[in-house]
Structure 1
Amino acid sequence: MAEILVNPQTAPLDQPVDVLVVGLKAGQTATVQLSTGDRASHAVFEADDRGVVDLTRHAPLDGSYRGVDPMGLFWSLERTGGKAGPTVLSVEGVGDRVLERLAVPEGVERLEVRENGLVGTLFAPEDDGGVLPGVIVLSGSEGGIHETDAALLAAHGFVTFALGYFGMKGLPENLVDIPLEYFGKAIDYLSERAGEIGVVGGSRGGELALLVGATYPQVSAVVSVVGSGVVTQGIGPGANLLQKLSYEAASWTLKGEPLPYLPYEIGGELRARIVNDEPVPLRLAFSTEDGVPEDTEIPVERIAGGVLLISSGQDDGWPSADLSEVAMRRLKDHEHPFPYEHVVYPEAGHLIAGPPHRPATDVTYPGPGVTFSGGGVPRATAHAQANAWKRTVEFLREQLGS
């Protein structure tokens, strides 16, 4: 009798699963489907001589993805227009399995933090009596708090602090004039509860992670994913993207003074895409071909620890590879005494930050009155995200001593 085997059936979101269908006839075709209610994917396989379909070894004949890819059904999930529901893996004529994909892994404790002006959420493995390293997790230009990222990282042996810095109650409304001293308070808060401190951020959060590391010597490791080694202009108030980009203000301040920044360039192509309601590659707002003003470069050589830069070669969000290379150049020029590396995924798009095995089929995403283009090839973006997450965890463990 044929059956579906899933291992593990309950697992954190960042953990891959092995899927097999056994008990089929040799050469029999089987359609494996994955549904989350609002998304669905499928793949058609031919059973091997033993009557087995093994997603870790077999490529589909047809379906939502190509090639051998154990998590292909997960990243290739397409929107259905339906409502979100349980994650169900099914095989026509065989049966189904309900999977539990945990945003907060078992054994991880959660604590909301609203004190001393800080807004965030603390995650930690259940107390084992030891002192664990700490990691501050920063969101990007969307604001808010990245709780899922922090919760999943905590399960790898860290005390994590998902920190908000704008776009939430009790915080500035826009990414304008955010004082770096706020992050100093966050470091002090986490230092009372953890050992060595690292900072992780994606996109504008990656820029911020490098800036915080360069400002506070307590930081022993920085991971910047599709980030920037250059301070860029703030994102101001406004009903639409053009208004927000036209608001001339700094993103960050230090000791009450705005930090110099690379301004946006609102050229003809960018303006036309916005006016014509076409997907907007925001990279058009950043000019790096002739270099950047030196006073906008983040002094990453001051970071008292390792630096991991991760970027994408087809990033439509902004030119993360070029902007991150500015940081790489400074680290090389100053012979940075700690480990540093710049990893570039040539065919990946902007959306590679955060935990893996999530849908990568959305090559566009909503913005203020526009649709942004993320760029990249979905398969490459999915694989880059998985590898970037793995590298991030390993790097933090190596640098912070987890």
Structure 2
Amino acid sequence: MRIDITPDQPALDTELRIRLTGFPPGERVRLRAEQPGWASHMVFTADDAGTVDVGRDAPTDGSYEGVDPMGPVWSMRRVGAAGGGGPVELTLTAGDASATVVRQRIPAGLERTEVTDGDLYGVLYHPAGATGLTTVVLLAGSEGGLHEEDAALFAAHGYAAFALAVYGAPGRPSTMTNIPVEYFGRALAYLRGAPAVDPGRVVFAGGSKGGEAALVAGAEYPEIAGVVSIVGSGVMTQGIDQSVFTGSFLDIMNTPVPNWTRGGEPLPYVPNVVTPALEKAVADGLPVRLRDAFEPGLALDVLDAATIPVERIGGPVLLLSTEDDGGYGPAYHRIAADRLAAHGRPFEHIVYPDAGHLVAAPPYGPTTESTGPGPAVTFEYGGTPAATAAARADAHRRVLAFLAGI
């Protein structure tokens, strides 16, 4: 009996092929997949040759349904403390057979440059020795900081990738308030001088608040060659007056502060609207959807002034939304899509049914948890595990295809 996992030492965003051979024909084969803090269980039936191909065969029982080559991974449930950064060791066991593959968060062959230039902070990855590459600038969401490992994964596909910190990083503001849009201009100026970068092919991309930021940057600097917003917003929304993971949730939501400034002056924004139903959910200790405080703001008179002038973006725009998004919700992207369509600008808007907010991360990680910790509350992100996993994988493929077309 044998388990084969290919390719060897893949990147974290690489789809795996998992095959089991040498089992008795027709036998029920119990497969366990595990990585630090997570595990899944499936039962397959070996074919007449004693083989199970996870990319061909559906389990008869277990953690997921249907044929899915990465089902054993995304269907994992938490069984302990998850591992930290670094490579992810995935082990598969069936009967007396076992195999382990190491999935790389930061693939080999990349150059890394930490950028600390005044208030500019980020990390640039690119294939070693490469020059003149299409470049993606990755913007984090309300969690702040930067997504360095995500940048490394994009760089492994042949791009330069700049994880740019907007707030919550060395030299940057500690809160997402009063962020000058000129900051994105300083990032572009740095990239123009980086040998690995083709300054005419720079794309801004982000998820959630980072998606809003990417659209803001593209509208402000039409030399940006394209914009990707994943579960983001076509309008400027209220800032965050303190770290999203500290303090009182209702205090944060009820404190109207601008997210963006230009020339030192605050730009208009749609404020949060804390309804009695949301207050009751917080008081009762129930999971809350930020969408419940966001969407009522779309009916306010400030909407027109706060809408991002996306028609100024100089290149194509990719908007990726999910129907069951516990964050902004697809209505926020539809505002951008309608405006782009009205001005005849190139764009694509994809809405994934049944998927939730957590689709901006690299694919092929566990998606069985749709809640997460907030400031004295639990956030509900929405989506079924299967739909969120499928949307995350498709979104990643679409972003790569978008970059290839720039």
Fold in common (TM above 0.5): yes
The answer as to whether partners of 1:229 and 1:326 remain within 8 angstroms in 2 is yes
The SS at the match of 1:311 is strand
Equivalent residues in 2 for 1:355-394, closer than 5 Å: 355-394=362-401
The answer as to whether partners of 2:178 and 2:261 remain within 8 angstroms in 1 is yes
1:264 aligns with 2:279: no
Identity among equivalent positions (%) equals 44
The answer as to whether partners of 2:90 and 2:103 remain within 8 angstroms in 1 is no
The aligned counterpart of 1:91 is 93
The aligned counterpart of 1:109 is 111
Report the alpha carbon displacement of residue 37 of structure 1 after superposing the two structures with TM. Answer: 2.6
The answer as to whether partners of 2:37 and 2:80 remain within 8 angstroms in 1 is yes
The SS at the match of 1:239 is coil
Equivalent residues in 2 for 1:162-241, closer than 5 Å: 162-193=163-194, 194-195=197-198, 196-237=201-242, 239-241=247-249
Find the aligned partners of 1:318 and 1:326 in 2 and give their Cα distance.
12
Find the aligned partners of 1:318 and 1:268 in 2 and give their Cα distance.
19
Report the alpha carbon displacement of residue 83 of structure 1 after superposing the two structures with TM. Answer: 5.5
Count of residues paired in the alignment: 394
The SS at the match of 2:258 is coil
1:331 aligns with 2:333: no
The answer as to whether partners of 1:187 and 1:218 remain within 8 angstroms in 2 is no
Report the alpha carbon displacement of residue 271 of structure 1 after superposing the two structures with TM. Answer: 0.8
Structure-2-length-normalised TM-score = 0.94
The answer as to whether partners of 2:113 and 2:124 remain within 8 angstroms in 1 is yes
1:295 aligns with 2:305: yes
Find the aligned partners of 2:82 and 2:91 in 1 and give their Cα distance.
17
Find the aligned partners of 2:132 and 2:11 in 1 and give their Cα distance.
23
Equivalent residues in 2 for 1:5-84, closer than 5 Å: 5-82=4-81, 84=83
Report the alpha carbon displacement of residue 115 of structure 1 after superposing the two structures with TM. Answer: 1.4
Post-superposition CA distance 1:286-328 (Å, at most 9, x none): 2266476211100000000010000000001222x10000000
2:126 to 114, 119, 124: 124
The SS at the match of 2:116 is strand
Find the aligned partners of 1:327 and 1:251 in 2 and give their Cα distance.
18
Report the alpha carbon displacement of residue 342 of structure 1 after superposing the two structures with TM. Answer: 0.3
Structure 2 stretches of 5 or more lacking a match?
Answer: none
The SS at the match of 2:234 is coil
Q: Aligned letter for 1:355?
A: P
Structure-1-length-normalised TM-score = 0.95
Find the aligned partners of 1:178 and 1:84 in 2 and give their Cα distance.
33
The answer as to whether partners of 2:125 and 2:151 remain within 8 angstroms in 1 is yes
Report the alpha carbon displacement of residue 95 of structure 1 after superposing the two structures with TM. Answer: 2.2
Structure 1 stretches of 5 or more lacking a match?
Answer: none
The answer as to whether partners of 1:7 and 1:17 remain within 8 angstroms in 2 is yes
The answer as to whether partners of 1:88 and 1:96 remain within 8 angstroms in 2 is no
